[in-house]
Structure 1
């Protein structure tokens, strides 16, 4: 698998870099630990824990969203949306052991984290500027629904269609993961306000936590940045 990034992305978000993480999963064990990890991250945040660069990092994501025509108050990056939900409700519900673990990393490190079922992909993941003809599979009023994305919107997609709208705001249905997914792809996305060593620490902690529930997993990690495109 090769992750493809449209060069125009770096004009919209100078210094953007991301950690790509391929996981071949193993049998799940000790799944209750994922909720403990999520609760710990949430409690730490609510009690004032966090990194000194975190607020600037999320603010920078808001500015990037404005550059491609999104309104971060209505469609925030996934890390900001998760944080707002936590502040509103006082906790985050357990969804799935794998999802809980990457939500915990997103909360702790103030970083958008996406998880995808790579076996559901057609071709390679591609971060691009939409031309407005791309189709996004979602759910509307409880039923499957297809919608066109906005021209100029930043999207993740494959050869079949859009997998995530407005960069990392809303994930599609087709490539979602759960604990039964065998081959997973995660993307941890950062801007320069987040130090590179923090991105590396988030990735390492994510892998360590996944190994608590999937001891035999195999990983492949790649740093994506402009000079590698």
Structure 2
């Protein structure tokens, strides 16, 4: 099976459970799977993107606090809806925005690119290594028994989500807790990643066009990170009611 077909089949098998859409019918996710990445350190292009993101964030935050930014506020409401405390567990967009004043992290060109695009488009954006995946990604409301591979105090440990918590998972357990709060160790990106999955999370007031533009820019940036990069993309949204 060629790489492009395998990536698309993975995305076609991905799911967002009905219980999640019942919680937030306005939720949409764009999943992007990519193969053929050539790992590398931060470069001039990723640095320019990060600097643009920091400047843009500064302009937004000059007008008001981070928690009042429209998409940050929407995610705070979503967290409250399944029992999380947004003051303690911040969605990934808010966490990045709070770091822009002192500078976004410079990790490697792959991580730098998706962090910058998250800030520039004001969309939570997660990146994971497909080599660590077992089966296709699913967004569910947890039973509370699913394993989550993480670290506490520098030591590897296994935690479990709270019952009803919204989590991304695969056949082996949770890959990201509280929708887009904390990613697990098993599927985290690293300096040698060549196959990756990216998840762009959107709630109202983010429009379809805005979400599509963020996904398109990410795809463009990913395609420059290798001579034979293959990219597949899928939008998942709530089923539309028939008239």
Shared fold (TM-score greater than 0.5)?
yes
The one of 47, 50, 74 equivalent to 2:59 is 47
1:86 corresponds, among 100, 121, 136, to 100
Specify the SS of the correspondent of 2:167: strand
Q: Which stretches in structure 1 are left out of the alignment for 5+ residues?
A: none
| Mean Cα deviation higher: 195-204 or 213-222 | 213-222
Counterparts of residues 27-106 of structure 1 (less than 5 Å): 27-28=38-39, 31-32=42-43, 33-48=45-60, 55-87=69-101, 89=102, 91-106=103-118
For residues 25 and 144 of structure 1, what CA distance do their matches in structure 2 show?
Answer: 30
1:148-204 C-alpha deviation (Å, 9 max, x unpaired): 211111111111111111111000000011342121111101012101101010011
The alignment's TM-score, normalised by the length of structure 2, stands at 0.86
Q: 1:25·1:184 contact (CA, 8 Å) conserved in 2?
A: no
Q: CA shift at 1:25, angstroms?
A: 2.3
Contact 2:223 2:230 in 1 (8 A): no
Q: Offset of 1:72 from its aligned partner?
A: 0.7
Counterparts of 2:222 and 2:208 in 1: how far apart (Å)? Answer: 21
Paired residues for 1:1-229 under 5 Å: 1=10, 2-28=13-39, 31-32=42-43, 33-48=45-60, 55-87=69-101, 89=102, 91-227=103-239
Secondary structure of 1:85 counterpart:
coil
Using the TM superposition, give the Cα deviation of residue 47 of structure 1 relative to its aligned residue in structure 2, in angstroms. Answer: 3.1
Structure 1 residue 30: Cα displacement:
8.4
Following TM superposition, by how much is the alpha carbon of 1:226 offset from its aligned partner in structure 2, in angstroms?
Answer: 1.2
Q: CA deviation at 1:29?
A: 6.6
Q: Residue 211 of structure 1: CA displacement?
A: 2.6
Indicate how the Cα distance of structure 1 residues 36 and 24 shifts in structure 2: closer, same or farther if over 3 A, else same.
same
SS state at 1:61 partner:
helix
Unaligned runs of 5+ in 2: 1-9, 63-67
Q: Hey, what does 2:3 align to over in structure 1? A: none
Give the alignment's TM-score, normalised by structure 1: 0.91
CA RMSD of aligned residues (A): 1.9
Give the drift of 1:129: 0.4
- Asked whether the equivalents of residues 40 and 191 of structure 2 are also in contact (C-alpha less than 8 Å), the reply is no
